[in-house]
Amino acid sequence: MRRDRDFEHAYAVIMAGGSGTRFWPLSRLRRPKQLLNLLGERTLLAETVARVLPVIPAERIYVFTNDLLRAQVVRCLPQLPKNQIVAEPAARNTAPTIGLAAHEILRRDPEGLMVVLPSDHVIRKPGAFRRMLRAACRWAVVDGRSVILGLEPTRPDTGYGYVRKGLRVARVVGQPIYQVENFTEKPPLATARRYLASRRYLWNGGMFIWQASTLLRNLARTKREMARGLERIAQAGGVRATRTLRRIFPRLEKISIDYAVMEKAPDVFVVAADIGWSDVGSWAVVYDLQAKDSEGNVRPRASLCLNARGNIIVSPRKFVVAVDVRDLVIVETADALLVAARERSQDVGKAVQELERRGLVELL
């Protein structure tokens, strides 16, 4: 795909400061999910960058992470200019980060178009993703518009945000674009079921496209104080003004861009992106996405399964033998071992909370 006019002003803003617990013991505080190669050779973060590189060049890609991870992120992304890999001085959720990024982009390009992307999701159709991105950029290039790449729900998940499709306003690059009627964060199960059945809702996967100026204008309207703080950082030199950044940023309101801006902004649109998306929320999902042996096991070469089915085994160090076991997650690292029921693998997070409660910090 050529770097054409649709992407002329596009900047990628990749959010890589997150931490999670559901991939313990592989994921740790110092090695969260985006830095794991759960599904291939490259980390999810490296995949995210590789996915946009055909349409947005490295000099227009920003990655926001934290102090703990920055060195690893830099190593993981040698193709990016180091000064575009920014460590936030504190975790303030997505709104302050995106505001900071908007100032950064605006400084370089008054017409700068922001493409906000999470770094720990999987997109199995990168071509379709870039086509969607083109559609979204073409639509968002008009001042004042915000676009969400929405995902068609496949189950009544209660952990996601839902976006209600309103009026169908256009068709861009073959895709219908809808006005957003409203947002619902993490609905109860009955509601989620209703949403799914209605076919009028899309999942919000945290992928946004808008002009940097649009975002800042919307933010100033809804979060005046945050906007003012970000303004002061920008005037001092933005992400390069380390002292100002460290002083002001940690005091900005800790809030997601969804709550801070999206739910109240005018001209928010959504497009259904059929891009093979998954947020890879648990070991069970990793199992689903991987190639399996004839007994339905995902496992390394150095393993033996005897009457064992449906297991996922991750063990780079040891030979693993599984005998007469079903649907397990077996993950071994240098200092820890997890054995969990695959269908309950989201509970791994609870186990990690318990480790934390017991003060077993070296295991976190």
Residues that bind a copy of itself (CB under 8 A): 24-25, 304, 306-307, 315, 317-325, 328, 330, 332-333, 335-341, 344-345, 347-348, 350-351, 354-355, 358, 360, 363
Instruction: Name the residue nearer to a copy of itself (CB basis): 39 or 336.
Output: 336
* Parallel, antiparallel or unpaired: strands 175-185 and 146-151: unpaired
Both structure tokens of 199: 């076919």
Both structure tokens of 270: 């959504």
Shortest Å distance, C-beta 350 to a copy of itself: 6
Shortest Å distance, C-beta 363 to a copy of itself: 6
The alpha carbons of the chain give a radius of gyration, in whole angstroms, of 21
Reduced to 3 states (helix: H, G, I; strand: E, B; else coil), residue 166 is strand
Cis peptide bond upstream of 110, omega within 30? no
State the Cα–Cα distance between residues 93 and 279, nearest whole angstrom.
18
Instruction: Name the residue nearer to a copy of itself (CB basis): 236 or 351.
Output: 351
Look at residues 209, 210, 192 and name the one whose alpha carbon lies nearest to residue 201: 192
Shortest Å distance, C-beta 25 to a copy of itself: 7
Shortest Å distance, C-beta 44 to a copy of itself: 23
Instruction: Name the residue nearer to a copy of itself (CB basis): 81 or 316.
Output: 316
Shortest Å distance, C-beta 179 to a copy of itself: 43
Both structure tokens of 318: 């040891």
Are 139 and 270 a contacting pair, CB within 8 Å?
no
Instruction: Name the residue nearer to a copy of itself (CB basis): 159 or 319.
Output: 319
Look at residues 213, 77, 229 and name the one whose alpha carbon lies nearest to residue 86: 77
State the Cα–Cα distance between residues 243 and 236, nearest whole angstrom.
9
Shortest Å distance, C-beta 299 to a copy of itself: 11
Instruction: Name the residue nearer to a copy of itself (CB basis): 272 or 336.
Output: 336
State the Cα–Cα distance between residues 169 and 140, nearest whole angstrom.
13
Instruction: Name the residue nearer to a copy of itself (CB basis): 160 or 283.
Output: 283
Number of neighbouring beta carbons within 10 Å of residue 290 = 14
Instruction: Name the residue nearer to a copy of itself (CB basis): 25 or 153.
Output: 25
Shortest Å distance, C-beta 318 to a copy of itself: 5
Question: Cα-flanking dihedrals φ and ψ of residue 95, to 5°?
Answer: -60, -50
Shortest Å distance, C-beta 333 to a copy of itself: 8
Report DSSP state, residue 326: B
Instruction: Name the residue nearer to a copy of itself (CB basis): 34 or 311.
Output: 311
Are 177 and 139 a contacting pair, CB within 8 Å?
yes
Apex CA 278: angle with CA 274 and CA 283, to 5°? 160
Shortest Å distance, C-beta 341 to a copy of itself: 4
Instruction: Name the residue nearer to a copy of itself (CB basis): 97 or 333.
Output: 333
Are 297 and 322 a contacting pair, CB within 8 Å?
yes
